[in-house]
Structure formats: structure tokens, C-alpha cells
Amino acid sequence: MNIISRVICFFLSAVIAAVLSGCVSQSQIEISSDDEFQRMRTSMPLSNNLTDRAYVRCVALSIIEQLDEPYASYDWEIELFDSQDVNAFAMAGGKIGVFSGLLNVATNQDQLAAVLGHEVAHVTEDHTLERANRDAVTRNVAIFGSEVLDASTGLETTDLMVFGAQVGLMLPYQRSAESEADTVGLIYMAAAGFDPLASITLWTNMAKVSGGAGPPPWLSTHPSGDARIAELAGEMIDILPIYNKALEEGRRPNCRH
């Protein structure tokens, strides 16, 4: 290999290395999360049901009390959005959002705690940062590869490559993150004194609402309902002692709804 070829190879290696690095920092994630959370607060209707707002806050704070540092000391912001969507989320930096439609499916404090414990676990386990960097890598690889192919073939390939990259790289990681968040979330809710068995009835409720419809498990960012229920049931041998200890120590939230 002559010197020019070596220089070209070195240059291409450096370019590829730069493309492959996500390089998204925790501080960037927290800034973006705060911006998005405040945007949602100003652009989406907020629930004016004071009882529901106090109820959601009570469950969320009970979960937060079980967190390790630095998460326990975050200035957590908790919001209830007036939307019939059955959903909730937690963001880096200490943001929790609940859509009021979730309260029709998570019908008691234990079921709501199962959802919020899971969402908070995504934050404490750094899934947001990991996913952001994975997204950056996927997007950069897709753009880089598509530009190379476009130049040689004249075809628009970005959308196809992005989809392929998501299926090949993103979904397996996201499924494992969901399972990890389920496990860690169970620990949080049980330690707070919420009945972890409610996580199973929650997903039974979810299945009824969806009518069993949904994407196949291999092409979903969440395990299927049946698979999730089986996994949650398998965790109970380790989680129930945590719950029993919480009860013995007098931890049993009374979040009225």
C-alpha cells in the first residue's frame, strides 16, 4: 500500500469513527428534557382535577423516596396532562408526566406505582442517555451510508437505512431496557410499600384495553402483554420479600383517589 492509499485509509477510518460516536452527554440530555417538558406544559392541556393531581403526586413521591443519590435529591417535577392517552413518562433530570387516561387503566395506587416505578427506572438506569447515544449512532451511520450510496447510485436510501438500522440495532436494546426497567421498577414500588402483584393486574388491564392487538414481540420496543406478565410473575419470588419488609417497617402509602 503506497503512502497515498495509507492516508486515504487513515482519513476514512477517522471519518467512520466520528460517525459512529454518539457523544451525547448527560447534561445535554437533561437540558433537552427540561426544554421538552416545559414545552409540553405550555402546549398541552393540564388537568385541573386537584384530587387526581394530588393522587399522582403522592404515588410519584413515594417512589422517589426509594431512589439512591443523586436521583433522590433531584428537584422532581410532576405533571398530570389532560389527555385520554394511556401513558406516562419520566425524563432525565427529574421530570414525570402522566396522562389522565392512564388513571382509567391503572385503577389503584399500586397499579399506578407499577407504571411510575418502571418509568423512573428508565432514568435511574441511564436508559435515556444510552438510547440517545444509540439514536445518534444509528442516525449518523444511516446518513453517512446513504450519502455514500446516493452518490454512487443516485437513489434516495436514507429512510430505508434508518428503518433497517432501527430494527437491527435499536429494538433489541430497547427490549432489554424495558425488561430492566420492569425489574428495577418493581423494586422501587415494593420498597415504597406498594403491592408488586398489582403490576400483573395492570398488564391484564392493558391487554383488555388493547383487545390483544399490537405488533409482534420481535418488532416491538416492549415485550408483548403475555410475555411481560410471565416475566413479572417470575420476579415475585425476589420482590415480595422487599414488599413484606416495607410493610413491617410501616411503609404503606395512602394515596387517595
* Catalytic one of 69, 77, 79, 119: 119
Contact (CB, 8 A) for 118 and 181: yes
- Whether 235 sits among the annotated catalytic residues: the reply is no
Integer Cα distance of 73 and 64 in angstroms: 9
Strand arrangement of the beta sheet that strand 88-91 belongs to: 77-81, 95-99, 88-91
DSSP 3-20: HHHHHHHHHHHHHHHHHH
Q: Which three cell numbers stand for residue 11?
A: 482519513
**Partners of 46 in the β-ladder:** 81
Torsion of CA 102, 103, 106, 107, to 10 degrees: -160
Integer Cα distance of 57 and 88 in angstroms: 13
The residues that are catalytic are 119
